[in-house]
Chain A
Amino acid sequence: MFAEFLQYLFTGITIGATYALIALGFTLIYNASHVINFAQGEFLMIGGMATVSLTAMGVPMVLAIILAVLLAGVLGILLQRFAIAPAKQADVVTLIIITIGASIFIRGLAQLVWGKEYHVMQNFSSDEPIRIFGAVLNSQSLWVLGIGAILVVGLVLFFTRTLIGKAILATSMNKEAARLVGIRTQLVLMLAFLVSAVLGSVAGIVVAPITFTSYDIGIMLGLKGFVAAAIGGLGSGMGAVVGGLLLGIVEAMAAGYISSDYKDAVAFSMILIVLFFMPRGLFGAKVVERV
């Protein structure tokens, strides 16, 4: 009985940690620009696919991961420079549509480069699952959780302790004012896209051994990540983490105890309930409009 519960919990936490990492990427760009970057899932795909194809070419795993993250980072900057920046006068909805277009474009490109097959990535460490009180945990789940935790702490420090992080926050609160105090807002935006692309690609790489990877893996994971971010309250780092874990755990419990048929329905009802009672999400900031 307890083993069963623990198993569902482990499953939920693993999936949830993935959602959380993606949600963090959404959060970051939302914080900097109030844009929801629907190409976030594509960074995840690029990370996984690039690592897989580089290792297949004989590049050592660690180097392949670094190169894949760099590639995603460059792509993030390109996305901002060539798709978002030229449309700077456009309103937020237009920018969101641009990101959707960019994601379709990147996916198409990836399909040409890597084909349509699913690819496998080896577990970082042992393939042997870990047994705890009768439940089983994939060792890769620990990597997902560990790296996820490091990234979260890193991001918190980045926003609270570094000038650049503070500049991003300042830009998000008031672009005009930020520019007046000497912050180069275009550069800040570019940075936000860079960091979020890196986040996304890292997420894609650590989960690839669990989920496999393919050119279109970003669609589903990206959507779930967005849902997690919305539950947590867009723009809150803490919210992204809690939202992701909550979504993962609810899904796993629903699949285990109720029926796998209703798993997605339960997850979506959860969003409705959360947003009904707390329209700005669990950790959403209260909006203060100053006149």
Chain B
Amino acid sequence: MLKTILRRTGKFAAIAAAGLVMSAQAAEPIKIGSFLSVTGPASFLGDPELKTLEMYVEKINEEGGVLGRQLELIHYDDVGNASNARNFASRLIRSDRVDIIVGGSTTGATMAAVPLVEQAKIPFISLAGAVVITTPVKEWVFKTPQSDRMAAERILADMKDRGITKIGLISGTGGFGSSGRTQTLEVAEQVGIEVLADVTYSGSDTDMTAQLTNIRNTDGVEAVLNFGFGQGPAIVTRNYDQLGMELPFYQSHGVASDSFLELAGDSAEGLRLPASPLLVPDSLPDDDPQKKVVQDYKAEYEARWDSKVSTFGAYAYDGLMLAVQAIEAAGSTDKEAVREALENIQGHVGVTGVFNMSPEDHNGLDADSFRILEVQNGEWKLIN
């Protein structure tokens, strides 16, 4: 008798507990994990990225969340260090048990996390640029920025339009610069542009006059391209101007931000680069689908943080919105369903471009999503 009562109470307790767990689960937030380089040498990437994620997670929650559940951002700072990134990715997966990861400011950090992500089978949207992240396609890995290869294609196409066939290349020795250099050399060979000079500088260098003099003394150079990010390209731009070099000058999308204009000042006059429309929201034609998204993001970010938007923050915006859209389309946070939904996103209008994902393309952008801008009178001017 006593035994039966005990057993029944036990059963009842078990059912009650299960019920509690289930109702708790329904209200449980959707966990978005992130590791970004918020401090350290790549902080100009991670800082706006984190600010963007924080701001939009808050905004989405105020508007009622996703699938009726709140979003929870779990974030770590990898200081631009790949092995930290790997540890944090592991922590996000194993102990925080996040539903999706949006992060990885640099290519190094992203690639360090990729094996873990693939093994744990968790959707991962990277915010880094290099082409290796999504080529070859990795089942669980997506990314929002255009690849550096597209940037190289876009720049070299613009050069060809201007009749330039022989160039000097200067690039940073960091992950971004060296990957950009490799891609430029490959694309140049394909489109028939000769790279006559090929020099580098390290991220912490304070003067690149020596390298530029080297290019200047190379016969036949018709234009100069700098692939790099951080303060380096701004110093290159200044040195270029000081040396009185008159050749057409190109930078990569690595410097596409208003703060670059501030740093480089007058010396940036006339240089061209491939960039997201974020830098020229108001010059976009009214029928451009991106115009409103871009204008809204810029206005909201600048109002909230009192600092200028950068393309890097926009990568995080696109990453978060893609994640949200995929979770909504999947109707749950089931990882395989979210992954499939991500892979099938079509015509998603982001700040960086219009995303058309497919099982063969986990980036979903083409080279035309870059606009060529030129600095005129200290401002970005849309060329095409």
Contacts and interface: CB of A to CB of B under 8 A. Distances in A.
Contact of A129 (B173, B199, B242): B242
B327 to A, nearest CB: 31
B132 interface: no
A78 interface: no
B210 A252 contact: yes
Interface stretch (B11-19, B258-266, B368-376): B258-266
Nearest to A11: B209
Interface in A201-235: 207, 210-212, 214, 216, 220-221
A129 B235 CA distance: 14
B263 A118 contact: yes
A220 B214 CA distance: 25
Contacts, number: 84
A8 interface: yes
B231 interface: yes
A45 B86 CA distance: 31
Contacts of A256: 210-211, 213-214
B244 interface: yes
A260 interface: yes
Interface residues of A, number: 37
A168 B8 CA distance: 86
B202 interface: yes
Contacts of B242: 129, 136, 138
A7 interface: yes
A264 B204 CA distance: 11
Interface stretch (B25-33, B39-47, B159-167, B284-292): B39-47
A245 to B, nearest CB: 14
A185 to B, nearest CB: 37
B207 interface: yes
B200 interface: yes
A263 B202 contact: yes
B35 interface: no
Interface in B229-278: 231, 234-235, 242-244, 259, 262-263, 265-266
Interface centre among B202, B234, B265, B266 (most CB of A within 10 A): B202
A260 B243 contact: no
A174 interface: no
A8 B213 contact: yes
A127 interface: yes
A127 B260 CA distance: 18
A263 B201 CA distance: 9
B119 interface: no
A7 B210 contact: yes
A116 B206 contact: no
A261 interface: yes
Given A15-B207, A18-B206, A127-B266, A212 B243 contact: no
B209 A136 contact: yes
A198 to B, nearest CB: 22
Give the residue among B44, B242, B243 with the most A Cβ atoms within 10 A. Answer: B242
A255 B262 CA distance: 27
A120 B235 CA distance: 11
Given A211-B235, A261-B200, A116 B43 contact: yes
B384 interface: no
A91 interface: no
Given A116-B44, A261-B173, A11 B199 contact: no
A144 to B, nearest CB: 11
A126 to B, nearest CB: 12
B210 A255 contact: yes
Contact of B39 (A4, A18, A116, A252): A116
Nearest to A213: B231
A116 B244 CA distance: 31
Nearest to A128: B242
Contacts of A118: 44, 231, 234, 259, 263
A273 to B, nearest CB: 21
B228 to A, nearest CB: 12
A117 interface: yes
Contacts of B4: none
A131 B242 CA distance: 10
A12 to B, nearest CB: 8
B217 interface: yes
A207 B206 contact: yes
Contact of B262 (A120, A136, A207): A120
Given A7-B213, A259-B199, A120 B263 contact: yes
9 contacts: A7-B213, A116-B44, A117-B307, A118-B259, A120-B265, A216-B41, A221-B206, A252-B210, A264-B202
Given A10-B209, A12-B210, A259-B199, 13 more contacts: A8-B213, A14-B207, A115-B307, A117-B307, A118-B231, A129-B244, A131-B244, A211-B207, A220-B204, A252-B207, A256-B211, A261-B173, A263-B202
Interface of A: 4, 7-8, 10-12, 14-15, 18, 111, 115-118, 120, 127, 129, 131, 136, 138, 207, 210-212, 214, 216, 220-221, 252-253, 255-256, 259-261, 263-264
The 4 closest A-B pairs by CB, nearest first: A211-B206, A256-B210, A255-B210, A220-B204
